[in-house]
Structure 1
């Protein structure tokens, strides 16, 4: 395994890249109304700019790490950055919604590659206390990027047009490419078999795509229509073929033996639920706050309005590892999901007369609940396996975040649009119809979050908790974006 290059240069390139990727990802929902106005494509269809990104990311994130191990982490990281630049330029120059969506699909692959290979480069270039410190800084950069994205996106819509975000992100990615070329030495895993599970990657995408498409079109087709059920059936078949493939390939995308670990499965599902429900809600609130029939916010105002969600999550996260160490991880996870359920239930009573302040406390409850549940879930995922399986467990949990974000956002958007359309057909005002759609989608997120409480009680048993160090605090703060090893990682038998 290669080692070398400037450690500070590796830190600069990887932290800057994860910051820009996460800022870009979190900003896009704020931009959708402006993109819709410019391109003429409905926001309902532009939803694929969000869900398609997550869908491709889910399929690619483990594979890109494998490609880095085999062909060189620096090389694949540079490919990810180049794809990110291309995707940003493609989106910024897009004159149609279809081009925006196509660019976002490419961006999903680029973002997943940058995150997977960037963290690998950082861990290979460092060791000991320096590695712990640098990985913690990488996690902090990810959290800062996610928090700043909606605010930056909203600001740029007013100043430069929505295209400005993508031009700036392309420029930052080019800087990262130069830094990588100058400061990072190539490294690869010489002992790893050279086979890559490309078929598994394709089957993950083929499992998710018809599932999300079925959710998206169910409002038009009907949930029990032949077309909707056909999409779900195609997803089931692709999922079955994925399992069969993973049993036969030399180096599987997903080691099915990991699924016999009940704590890993429980914590991964908890991560999926948490990431999915909060992504679904923030997508809807970004649209609801800007709709003239609702709050009528400008993009910048909407960016500021959604900021408490990320700030609340990141603010509570550093205290979570010590809390979990004292009270137990499953207890903290359970309390977190209870807080999320309460927040979703409150938003489930949304009325068209509500001002922004009525949303603030439930948004904070959901954010704090996410911070409480996701940090210990991520820690449990890597602490319940032996050291040699930590990478595989991290990959599974990272894929779960993308899957949760894609599926839950599609489901929330479908419920929101369907209820809104039905209300309008029944003679409701546009404001009342929007409020009813948001309320119905929030009730669905509450039900899904309640499953997280059950997981904490049943599936996530005792495991070694993180010690609560600065590294653990950074891992917890970044846990809604990426699984970072903690002081408890690899302690499972």
Structure 2
């Protein structure tokens, strides 16, 4: 039966399943960087190796998120959502039972596929089960659950390390995700897009991995291999060939993973690149700060203390969320994004002067400034990525922006980890104390992120003078939520 309601509230079952699952996925994602030192101690693997537990998750997520949403549209969103939940449960068990870095990293890569599937299909299930103001409320709740999960992750993870060990986080996540399965089975209706082509672009999915894996390898290992070594250059060439093959493949398939015609839209391109930079700098920042705060040569914090140390930035980012749309409306999306990146550039630049004499209080103001800036840049960029296209292209544009988040996170984390580790090693070889070497590593990583944020200011120019004409409140909510796959415009629901 085709649904034509203009104002319909989402059912309790779909709200519970979608919001709880996205909370768990985002909490799990944000907690892992805090857990890396504890995992390193238990498995005997260096943190540099365990970095792949973060980048591997994002690599797989980037390759899978659009495809998983398309699978839901074709074969049933509830069915694919349930598959994501089952895969997430299995990945949690694998990670919690692992005694080696290989098991943890493999589990996290599987979790990347599961998490992106849950996010893509959960948003779609909410969208098709509601309409009008009811849809806006549902998506707003979903976005709030996403933000709350991201904020709670480091705190919960840090707390559990001292009580249950790092494995406790994954056992608890397993139980919560498992509880969502019967809720979904018995309280959520199946839905699919009968008008969508049943062709799935598997080649595009594989080629995304072909592009990203060697690129991340080059960024992660280039310092050890040598930036002009055969291995590094070979990885970069392979990534470039992957781009060429991807473009060629997308032009030939009937239902491409990415509609290349959308890249003619200057606003969408600028917004997508801005989203990529926001995601990259946030993930890079959390990675280096979690390591720096917990290192005995710096503050020697516990995992819980390190989680609490990032709380000012997370709290401010959540607190300013209601103010972002009014600011963007008042000064325009492009200026809001530019202002946001200017603020974050300034915050990162201050951290570029970090030294071993700094106390924790010296970090608070730069972190707050960065949080305000990145939050201000992310909201309007997310909204512009969907409101700058025609209604029938909203789903495709959302898929591109979601992929950009995963790509930005994986690339920036790899690059930041390399700069951080290389600067520390160079300083140690030069005779610097461990504390001085760590501070230099943090400083160099902050400078890299300042450069990335400064690029965001330049990218704001690409967005042009965009006026969100006739943009609905639902589109704004979906853009701010920032993780959804599609908001279907033609949907058939079945029990």
What pairs with 1:439-450 in structure 2 (closer than 5 Å)? 439-450=443-454
Instruction: Work out whether 1:132 is the aligned partner of 2:136.
Output: yes
Q: Answer yes or no: is the 8 Å Cα contact 1:317–1:473 preserved in 2.
A: no
Aligned pairs for 1:15-414 (under 5 A) are 15-414=19-418
Candidates 473, 478, 484, aligned match of 2:481: 478
Question: Aligned partners of 2:479, 2:351: CA distance in 1, in Å?
Answer: 26
Q: Is the 8 A contact 2:120 2:485 kept in 1?
A: no
Deviation of 1:459 (Å) = 3.4
CA shift at 1:457, angstroms?
2.4
Shift of the alpha carbon at 1:482? 5.2
Q: Is the 8 A contact 2:394 2:486 kept in 1?
A: no
Q: Deviations over 1:433-475 (max 9, x none)?
A: 1111110111011111111101112434322179896x67855
Contact 1:380 1:465 (8 Å CA) reproduced: no
Query: Which ranges of 4 or more aligned residues in structure 1 deviate by more than 3 Å?
Result: 1-6, 465-469, 471-479, 481-485
Seen in structure 2, the aligned counterparts of structure 1 residues 6 and 321 have a Cα distance that, compared at 3 Å, is closer
Output one character per residue of 1:411-447: Cα deviation in whole Å (capped at 9) or x when no partner: 0000000111111111111111111111011101111
List runs of 5+ in structure 1 lacking aligned partners. Answer: 486-493
Structure 1 length normalisation: TM-score? 0.95
Alpha-carbon distance between aligned partners in 1 of 2:470 and 2:56, rounded to the nearest angstrom: 34
Measured in 2, the distance between the counterparts of 1:466 and 1:315 equals: 27
Asked whether the 8 Å contact 2:266–2:462 carries over to 1, the reply is: no
SS in 2 for 1:187: strand
* Structure-2-length-normalised TM-score: 0.95
Aligned to 1:489: none
User: Displacement of 1:483 after TM fit?
Assistant: 7.7
Unmatched 5+ residue regions in structure 2? 488-495
- Please state whether the residue corresponding to 1:172 is helix, strand or coil: helix
Q: Distance in 1 between matches of 2:243 and 2:72?
A: 26
Structure 1 CA distance for aligned equivalents of residues 477 and 323 of structure 2:
10
Deviations 1:281-328 (A, max 9, x none): 111101100000111000000010112222111111211111111111
Distance in structure 2 (CA, Å) of the matches to 1:439 and 1:460 = 33
Cα distance in 1 between the residues matched to 2:439 and 2:164: 31
Larger RCO (CA within 8 A; separation ≥ 6): 2
Q: In structure 2, the residue corresponding to 1:349 is in which secondary structure?
A: coil
Q: Deviations over 1:150-180 (max 9, x none)?
A: 0000000001100000000000001111100
